[in-house]
Structure 1
Amino acid sequence: MSATEIDFYQLLEVERTADDKTLKSAYRKLAMKYHPDKNPGCKDSEARFKAISVAYDCLKDPQKRAAYDRYGHAAFQNGGPGGGPGGDFGDIGDIFESIFGQAFGGGARQQARRGADLRYDMEITLEDAFHGKKTEITIEVSQGCEPCHGSGAEPGTGARRCAMCGGHGKVRAQQGFFMVERTCPTCHGRGEVIEKPCRACGGEGRVDKPQQLEIDIPPGVDSGTRIRLSGKGEAGPFGAPPGDLYIFLHVKRHDVFEREGTTVLTRVPITFTTAALGGSIEIPGVDGERLSLDIPAGIQSGKQLRKRGAGMPVLQGRGRGDLVIEISVETPTRLTARQKEILRELQETETGDECPGSKGFFERIKDAWTGITD
């Protein structure tokens, strides 16, 4: 169907039986949505705003609506059943054409479609995500045919205008008041017919072959980060522009570190003597450097310590996140006779005040047992 025959009721998103109040409400809702002030610089919204205004101006007038309901758009065409000049409807084709483009008419031949976008999944290490990385990949992708330069025609030959559509890419047929327009079945919308297809690509204008690409991975990327390589996707048919290639990154699981955004987490076991007395230990950083960590005396398992600025870099920004260290106090399992003797001596000196958590727990248990026996 051509641009000038888009149904006014469909445009306003109402039924043909809609009353004046419903029409007005629908128009206000759509006018607010597509008003140029709310969509600055958007030509599609501006054109749609004009189109719904034209539709509403027709349907809010009882006489115009009656003529439209009976004859459709023909009521407002020169010499149509409605009589008289088109008036406000003279430019409706241009308005609708700017909104709906080639799908609803337009005369120009169909543009060759752009090549498809492609996806490539890449696995990297946490270290790669930290430092960034330049690497190369090789993918099999359709590219423009060199012998015919993407035209699809055998070198030295060309394409001729399609006789079926006269080079427009579309054919039309009259059905009552409507002019139905379809893609030309002979040239498939190109407006041209290749008489002698290129033997290298079979007339497609593109062939599949390996392509080597350099990928620049910036520091701070995470799983799900997408890198776009413009124009490195599948070549379009008959010399049309290529699509894009999207690299989706997946960071491998690390043996030592876990990651939450720019924060890096790790679990560090310490001896129970270090936990009791405190001290200083060295731990690895995600950047490979050694970090000194002060352990406060009396620290408990599960306690988290934080190293500011020792986490992952901010992607395309400045600074780094934090490194969070969860302490795990390890109970010794292999003791010498002398070590056991020392621990027994310690045990004999214990009063219960050394471990307030344990003392408080057993006091609560004792109170619970006393309540039961009473």
Structure 2
Amino acid sequence: MNREWLEKDFYKDLGVSSGASQDEIKKAYRKLARDLHPDKNPGDSKAEERFKAVSEANAVLSDPEKRKEYDEARKLFAGGGFGRGGFPPGGGFSGGEFNLGDIFGAGAGGAGGADGGLGDLLGGLFNRGGTRASSRPRRGSDVETETTLGFREAAQGVTVPLRMTSPAACTTCHGSGAKPGTSPRVCPHCNGTGVVSRNQGAFGFSEPCEDCRGTGSIIDDPCVDCRGSGIQNRTRTITVRIPPGVRDGQRIRLAGQGEAGLRGAPPGDLYVTVHVSQDKVFGRNGDDLTLVLPVSYAELVLGTTVSVPTLDGRVGVKVPPGTADGRTLRVRGRGVPKRDGGAGDLLVTVKVAVPQKLDDDATEALRRYAEAEKTSGFDPRAGWAGA
């Protein structure tokens, strides 16, 4: 977390209260991301800047650990900061910028962040056995995005490009934070631990090293593009392979495609939520495809074979003589592909299509059939409603 983050109101950027639930934050971000996405607002620089601000706010507030650290940091620094052991600007690397994530533990790490944090720091402050702050790089945060697929694309699998704006490793210093041709060096004041100890009377105190800002390393020549953080906001396009059979609302994890870690640390993961649009012909029940097949009354009575569509061509479906309207016929293995290499079934429900208008010959033939039907003794309402 950069110092300038303290001057930003991420809750205001997303239009939610500071007490908003994770679901409220997620819904607010999704709506804003859809409305402000660069693809939807080509050439609109204001929308692009707003989109970046919303993405940055979501990256912090959607991660419970980072959100907690952000809230604590705002309260802490709003109340005067660390006092004597505080962090005046201008030390460490240039520009007066320091990394709060290095003070508060997993601030830049999200899930799977390194050991150490505010609790450990305060624990060490009063010698309560807390662990020392670690200079181990922090893993990047996980990132979420969405995509919408056609029904058949989702069923069969597809490769789609995703355009994203999110923190990524600086392309100039490759995430190290140091000017190309140079490297960070171990802080000589704390020997790379990130904390220093001092005694005051009967008490021992541990506090972040002022020379390295608690990181354990010093960058003498910071990268001019990322100002020593090793991270830049970049718009990038990645290719995502959506496996066959994905369902509406399903989340797909792409390891290592999330937010870049601080100073070359491992990146987080990318989670893609898939939305599936409806199809005019097919429906879905688990791994089975469903469709409604229009047939005539004569085809149900006499029987027939009808060609119906599948995901990969057409197949003939036999309708036995005397089939009842609404009956479902099963075609095995022609449904949605499964992960094990098999496939679900195709469920075909027959439905009589009633003609709205008949010519004279067809009308006369139907009347003769109706009379013959009565003569044969067939009664469609026999035994119905007490008849």
Letter in 1 for 2:232: V
Distance across 2 between alignment mates of 1:356 and 1:176: 105
1:344 alignment partner, one of 343, 367, 380: 367
Residue 159 of structure 2 corresponds to 134
1:271 alignment partner, one of 287, 296, 300: 296
1:234 maps onto 2:254 in alignment? no
**1:249-290 Cα deviation digits (max 9, x unpaired):** 222211100112210111111111112222221111122x12
Structure 2: 5+ residue stretches without partners: 1-113, 121-128
- Whether contact under 8 Å (1:133, 1:216) holds in the other structure is yes
Distance across 1 between alignment mates of 2:314 and 2:180: 64
Helix, strand or coil for the counterpart of 2:343?
Answer: coil
Helix, strand or coil for the counterpart of 2:153?
Answer: helix
Structure 1: 5+ residue stretches without partners: 1-99, 366-374
- Whether contact under 8 Å (1:105, 1:181) holds in the other structure is no
Helix, strand or coil for the counterpart of 2:300?
Answer: helix
Distance across 2 between alignment mates of 1:355 and 1:323: 33
Higher Cα Rg: structure 1 or 2?
1
Distance across 1 between alignment mates of 2:273 and 2:322: 46
- CA, structure 1 residues 352+141, in 2 after alignment: closer, same or farther (shift >3 Å)? farther
Deviation at 1:230, TM superposition (A): 2.3
Deviation at 1:309, TM superposition (A): 0.9
- Whether contact under 8 Å (1:311, 1:323) holds in the other structure is yes
Distance across 2 between alignment mates of 1:176 and 1:354: 111
1:111 maps onto 2:167 in alignment? no
Deviation at 1:357, TM superposition (A): 4.5
Moved more, 141-150 or 296-305: 141-150
- Whether contact under 8 Å (1:160, 1:192) holds in the other structure is yes
- Whether contact under 8 Å (1:312, 1:320) holds in the other structure is yes
Distance across 1 between alignment mates of 2:329 and 2:375: 27
- CA, structure 1 residues 249+353, in 2 after alignment: closer, same or farther (shift >3 Å)? farther
Residue 49 of structure 1 corresponds to none
1:326 alignment partner, one of 340, 349, 367: 349
Distance across 1 between alignment mates of 2:186 and 2:334: 67
1:245 maps onto 2:299 in alignment? no
1:286 maps onto 2:311 in alignment? yes
Residue 310 of structure 1 corresponds to 334
TM-score with structure 1 setting the length: 0.61
**1:33-84 Cα deviation digits (max 9, x unpaired):** xxxxxxxxxxxxxxxxxxxxxxxxxxxxxxxxxxxxxxxxxxxxxxxxxxxx
- Whether contact under 8 Å (1:352, 1:359) holds in the other structure is no
1:301 maps onto 2:308 in alignment? no
- CA, structure 1 residues 279+158, in 2 after alignment: closer, same or farther (shift >3 Å)? closer
Helix, strand or coil for the counterpart of 1:306?
Answer: strand
1:218 alignment partner, one of 243, 263, 274: 243
2:217 alignment partner, one of 192, 196, 206: 192
Letter in 1 for 2:352: V
Q: Percent identity?
A: 36
TM-score with structure 2 setting the length: 0.59
Distance across 2 between alignment mates of 1:306 and 1:332: 27
Distance across 2 between alignment mates of 1:307 and 1:156: 65
Please show how residues 80-159 of structure 1 align to structure 2 within 5 Å.
Answer: 102=116, 103=120, 105-107=130-132, 109-155=134-180, 159=184
Residue 83 of structure 1 corresponds to none
Residue 77 of structure 1 corresponds to none
Distance across 1 between alignment mates of 2:378 and 2:208: 85
- CA, structure 1 residues 339+207, in 2 after alignment: closer, same or farther (shift >3 Å)? same
Deviation at 1:291, TM superposition (A): 1.3
Letter in 2 for 1:350: E
- Whether contact under 8 Å (1:162, 1:192) holds in the other structure is yes
Letter in 2 for 1:202: R
- Whether contact under 8 Å (2:135, 2:192) holds in the other structure is no
Letter in 2 for 1:189: G
